Amino acid sequence: MTKSAHSKSDTRPFVPLGIVVLTVSDSRTLADDKSGQVLDDGLTSAGHKVVHREVVPDEICAIRVAARAQLAREEVHVLVVTGGTGMAPRDVTPEALEDLFDKQIPGFGELFRMLSYEDIGTAMMQSRACAGLMAGKLIFALPGSTGACKLALEAILIPQLDSRTKPCSVSGLLY
């Protein structure tokens, strides 16, 4: 097995998770939110339930209010945020979310940037993708590009949100 290969247990059951997709953007609506749709489609195809999608402005308060409201819902296990993780002055997603984390998951951002290097070279250093746990629920923050969302889905999120992934997955932290 290669370092990036994932295997699945024959004995563990698949546990579908309730997931919220939150897009951070001053210019997108649900109708033209391609990255949020990529995440919704990929997570649904993997067997999970996207229970809510929303677009919020690039503002710390708006991001925190939306994140807290969605994570307070019993059926929500995971919050996936796209947008606002770059270096531009309006990019404030990490600042908004990291204060909510009970624990950070630094390996997520490190792995995402390593994988991104293969696609976009040294431009990956501008990504501030991050992840953490809040009140026993997972939060992942991704760049707003569809390519970044596809990469994170295929290489990290889908395998790690699958309860059957061996030797373990972050979904095991939820139950």
What is the residue extent of each domain of the chain?
15-174
Give the SS3 label for residue 135: coil
| Residue 77 pLDDT greater than 60, yes or no | yes
May I ask the CATH class of domain 15-174?
Answer: alpha beta
Q: Give me the chain's average pLDDT, please.
A: 93
| Rounded average pLDDT over 90-100 | 96
Distance set, CA 106 to CA 13, 26, 103, 130 (Å): 28, 27, 9, 7
Percent pLDDT > 90 in the chain is 89
pLDDT at residue 163, rounded to an integer: 93
CB 152 within 8 A of CB 112: yes
CB 81 within 8 A of CB 97: yes
CB 171 within 8 A of CB 162: yes
Residue 18, H or E segment: strand 18-24
In sequence order, the β-bridge partners of residue 24 are 56
pLDDT at residue 10, rounded to an integer: 67
Q: How far apart are CA 87 and CA 15, in angstroms?
A: 36
CA atoms within 13 A on the CB side of 82: 26
Rg (CA), the chain: 15
pLDDT at residue 100, rounded to an integer: 95
- Alpha-carbon 114 to chain mean position: 16
Give the amino acid at 126.
Q
CB 170 within 8 A of CB 105: yes
pLDDT at residue 2, rounded to an integer: 42
| Residue 175 pLDDT greater than 70, yes or no | no
| Rounded average pLDDT over 98-127 | 95
Vertex 66: Cα angle to 48 and 136 (nearest 5): 55
Token reading at 84: 């606002």
| Rounded average pLDDT over 134-160 | 97
pLDDT at residue 174, rounded to an integer: 81
